[in-house]
Amino acid sequence: MIVRQVPRYLLIGSGRVARHMACYFDFLGIFYTQWHRGMAEEVLASHARAATHILLLIRDDAIADFAQFHLADVRGIKIHFSGVLNVDGVYGAHPLMTFGPDLYAREKYETIPFVVEAGAPAFADLLPGLPNAHAEIAKKDKAKYHALCAMAGNFSCLLWQKLMHDFENEFGLPAQTARAFLRQQTDNLISDYKSALTGPLVRGDHATLSKHIHALKDDPFAEVYQSFINAYRAQEEKKS
């Protein structure tokens, strides 16, 4: 029987993900210490020496330097949560979720899958105590994997923000008018992503597409609309 050491986590950072992870660890009853750069460096050194697992929950562009300057001599396993970075000596485990300012319920944290880079220790050794699902990704694929996540999550958010803003400001329609539509679109994607697309693109309704482009002509999103048409057509041609 393998007896695993009780982990001693150190969470570094005080941003959104650090707050969410601290909250999740509290739910799970996992002991941790925390440090952020508003605290004394001696505290970091002492927490880092005692830690078995060090989560660098700081800006992507600060992770490599921070690990090199502050953690080069400590023995604990170092982990970052960036979906795109490859950093020597720091394993990548990306929680595939968006973390906003508000904390979530325990059940929501438990449904977050971690996409872990190949070559990292087994999940139970990398993030002991976390019951989350996990999957592996090759380091060379991380940039494209994360580009897809950012496109789907961030760009669809921009489109919905645009719709709600223009509803309110151009047409005097309350933003919540769009809620049922947004929920149903999301539900359809979750239940069968392949059949979730409706509308003029999938119907090949060129007259409506032209009207839309014309109606958007003074709007920076006209280019976005046209580039979606182009990408959709290129993708369909590739399939045939």
Ligand X SMILES: NC(=O)c1ccc[n+]([C@@H]2O[C@H](COP(=O)([O-])OP(=O)(O)OC[C@H]3O[C@@H](n4cnc5c(N)ncnc54)[C@H](OP(=O)(O)O)[C@@H]3O)[C@@H](O)[C@H]2O)c1
Identify which range of 12-20, 178-186, 210-218, 220-228 contacts ligand X by CB under 6 A.
12-20
Question: Parallel, antiparallel, or unpaired for β 32-35 and 91-95?
Answer: unpaired
Q: How far is the CB of 2 from ligand X (least distance, A)?
A: 30
Q: 77: left (phi > 0), else alpha (psi -120 to 50), else beta?
A: beta
- Applying CB under 6 A, among 66, 74, 120, 134 the residue interacting with ligand X is 66
The residue number whose beta carbon is nearest to ligand X equals 15
Identify which range of 23-31, 60-68, 194-202, 210-218 contacts ligand X by CB under 6 A.
60-68
DSSP per-residue string spanning 182-223 = HHHHHHHHHH-GGG---SHHHHT-HHHHHHHHHHTTTSTHHH
- Applying CB under 6 A, among 15, 89, 119, 204 the residue interacting with ligand X is 15
By CB under 6 A, the residues from 74 to 133 that bind ligand X are 80-82, 94-95, 98-99
In the bound state with ligand X, the residue whose beta carbon lies nearer, of 25 and 66, is 66
**Number of residues in contact with ligand X under rule CB under 6 A:** 21
Amino acid identity, residue 229? I
3-state secondary structure (DSSP) of residue 158 = helix
DSSP per-residue string spanning 54-84 = EEE-S-HHHHHHHHHHHSTT--SEEEE--SS
Identify which range of 9-17, 113-121, 183-191, 214-222 contacts ligand X by CB under 6 A.
9-17
Identify which range of 58-66, 71-79, 121-129, 199-207 contacts ligand X by CB under 6 A.
58-66
Give me the phi and psi of 201, to 5 degrees please. -60, -50
Residue 148 within binding range of ligand X, rule CB under 6 A: no
Beta-carbon-side half-sphere exposure of residue 221 (alpha carbons within 13 Å):
12
- Applying CB under 6 A, among 54, 58, 71, 90 the residue interacting with ligand X is 58
Question: Parallel, antiparallel, or unpaired for β 114-117 and 91-95?
Answer: antiparallel
Contacts with ligand X, residue ranges (CB under 6 A): 13-18, 36-37, 57-60, 62, 66, 80-82, 94-95, 98-99
